[in-house]
Amino acid sequence: MQKVLVIGYVWPEPRSSAAGSRMIELLELFCAQGWQVSFACAAALSEHRADLRELGVPEVSIALNCDSFDAYVAELQPDLVLFDRFFTEEQFAWRVERACPTALRVLDTSDQHSLREARQQLLKSAQQACASEAEKHQLTAVQASPEQLFAAMATSDSAQREIAAIYRSDLTLMISEFEMQLLQGQFGVPAALLHHCALMLIPPATACLEFEQRAHFISIGNFRHAPNWDAVLWLKHALWPLIRQRLPQAQLHVYGAYPPPKATALHNTRQGFHVLGWVDDAHRVMSQARVCLAPLRFGAGIKGKLADAMACGTPSVTTAIGSEGMCGELPWGGAVVEDPQTFADASVRLYQDRERWLLAQQRGSAILARRFQRGALGEALIARLQQLDAEREVHRQQNFVGAMLRHHQHKSTQYMSQWIAAKNRATRS
């Protein structure tokens, strides 16, 4: 392979989200092979986006439902096209296949959108059954089994679209083993279509401070991501008051990109609840905190904030959804709990007990060493892509369901897109 085209759902923001960090990791990996890598995106330029030109990656603005993309990709003739999330595959894969039929089509889910959406809906349903706001704040994280998740997802539009995109692609990169198991066990997706590739973490430049040198709790996450916003609300109304009762001088620093007014309105210095918004160096503030709080009641994928916490030597308290896909059989670097009181108890113990804190830090380092080795993960992905390139025709022949879906689904998507493009041309003329 010589040429790679990455089509982004958004411009990557590695300092705002785990998805942005993952995209940079993939771009750096491809560039390290000596491949010519281009990044194209139809989204508006964002405030905190990375300058990909520093990586030697050309940035190309493209348009939805516009034949100009066909001319661009036909001229580029990439050997591999990576689609950033299934929305992008729906929009552009049929155009890529028509212009470059031999190019490998790889989908990166970042996290399984339909799984996150199903868990969010399960939480909403439970909240709707509550008699008061206070009762809603006492609800624990979603604890649905794979069978229950399948029942919630099977008829959803997003699951059908996302899994169809997985079948249509030559390979899909999955960030979480749990999602791999869910797709294969409950939805029957062939293992040959999936590749597990966790975050390929870049070590922080900031040195880890000792227990005595650290102070305060930290919570961090992009406010535009629904699980993060729910976590902030759960902290504000249920969890932090319990922690503050035990630690009256404790402070919680809440960071994250794009805080809306409803988030900054939660800032209250008397309660020790500080909504600080955007920070340009998450590793720096994470390394200064003593404990990271990540009370995620729904979500999917691997949580970048918790990986960063381990990399910075900061123990964390989270839920089973927060730790999902990260530690395997290894003990968590902190505590994994579900209900408000237990969450508060674990947070206080970790904050006060130096020996417990040091053990949690060591466990976090062990997780990173065993499960997030940048070199090994990158080598495995490149080897899988090269094998797929060599066996492309046989691989595609064995994926009859994918061929069938491309024939039917892409025809309808193609005709709709062409109709929009024709309408736009008529309007301009």
Q: Are 186 and 147 in contact, with CB atoms under 8 Å apart?
A: yes
Question: How far is residue 14's CA from residue 376's CA, in Å, rounded to a whole number?
Answer: 21
Question: Other C-beta atoms within 10 Å of 88: how many?
Answer: 25
Give the amino acid at 304. G
Predicted pLDDT at 132 = 93
Q: What is the pTM of this model?
A: 0.91
Tens-digit pLDDT profile for residues 74-103: 999 999 999 999 999 999 999 999 999 999
Grouping H, G, I as helix, E, B as strand and the rest as coil, residue 305 is: helix
CA gyration radius for the chain? 22
Dihedral sign from CA coordinates of 324, 327, 331, 332: negative
- Mean predicted lDDT score pLDDT of the chain: 93
At a CB cut-off of 8 Å and minimum separation 6, what does 107 contact? 82, 83, 85, 86, 89, 165, 166, 169, 171, 172, 173
Per-residue confidence (pLDDT) for residue 27, from 0 to 100: 96
Q: What is the pLDDT of residue 374?
A: 85
Report the pLDDT value the prediction gives residue 147, as an integer from 0 to 100: 97
Per-residue pLDDT, 204: 61
HSE of 156, CA atoms in CB hemisphere, 13 A? 20
Q: What is the pLDDT of residues 342-371, one digit of tens each?
A: 999 999 999 999 999 999 999 999 999 999
Shortest CA distance to 337 belongs to which of 146, 189, 160, 141?
A: 141
pLDDT tens, position by position, 263-311: 999 999 999 999 999 998 999 999 999 999 999 999 999 999 999 999 9
- Whole-number pLDDT of residue 202: 62
Report which DSSP code applies to 406.
H
Structure-token match 């997985």, residue found: 166
Spans in the chain with pLDDT lower than 70: 201-207, 409-419, 422-423, 428-429
Going along the chain from its start, the domains and CATH numbers come out as: 3-114+143-200+375-428 (3.40.50.2000), 211-371 (3.40.50.2000)
